[in-house]
A and B are shown apart, each in its own frame.
Chain A
């Protein structure tokens, strides 16, 4: 497809479980961002990749959250020992390579922790 895709679109899990959320960027986009959006709030920065490396992970709330991008394309956000407070929409955005380019967002994954 032409856009950023995210899977699954919805994920319901129980407290304490492990989840993985996937982001497929637009082909050729080197910059990739993960955001978390709670109801009624703007997206909150989590982590930024430039290529394969995490250039800035200062937004990850704690060590239960981890993200990888091993080949510089697909990225996976991993959450261990999920808590009810992790429930939110997780958004992925990608950008070609220049900081003058537009950021394109995926549709998000709605995570619900019961």
Chain B
């Protein structure tokens, strides 16, 4: 059974710092891994999708990496801004077509 773990559960950093969020998964037989952002009381916004054959994806100040063999992904946020404050969720799509989420990392950027 696929399990997805996100560390840390919560993180507070001063504005301008670079930061890394971690995601690990137990079953490496995945199609892809996706990072989402969720603001309080809102739905999920897709940030980056990494296919199983890819190592990383970049969008603006965000960079996501995937090491499928070790069951790990990281989301790197450069030059953090207060507007980056949100919960970040990692989700994997397995070979059974089931999407499994981690519990998320609550990020707070201090002005």
Contact = CB atoms under 8 A, between A and B. Distances in A.
Given A42-B102, A42-B103, A99-B32, A105 B97 contact: no
B97 A99 contact: yes
Interface in B41-81: 42-46, 49, 51
A56 B44 contact: no
A99 B103 contact: no
Interface string B71-108: 00000000000000000010101001111111110000
A107 B38 CA distance: 10
Contact of A99 (B4, B43, B93): B93
B43 A105 contact: yes
Interface residues of A, number: 26
B34 interface: yes
A102 B43 contact: no
Interface residues of B, number: 25
Nearest to A55: B97
Contacts of B104: 41-42
Contact of B99 (A40, A45, A55): A45
Residue from B32, B44, B93, B103 whose CB has the most chain A CB atoms within 10 Å: B44
Contacts of B103: 40-42
Interface of A: 31, 33, 35, 40-45, 48, 50, 55-56, 58-59, 91, 93, 99-100, 102-108
11 contacts: A40-B103, A42-B91, A55-B97, A56-B96, A99-B31, A99-B32, A100-B31, A102-B46, A103-B34, A105-B44, A105-B45
Interface of B: 4, 6, 31-32, 34, 36, 42-46, 49, 51, 89, 91, 93, 96-104
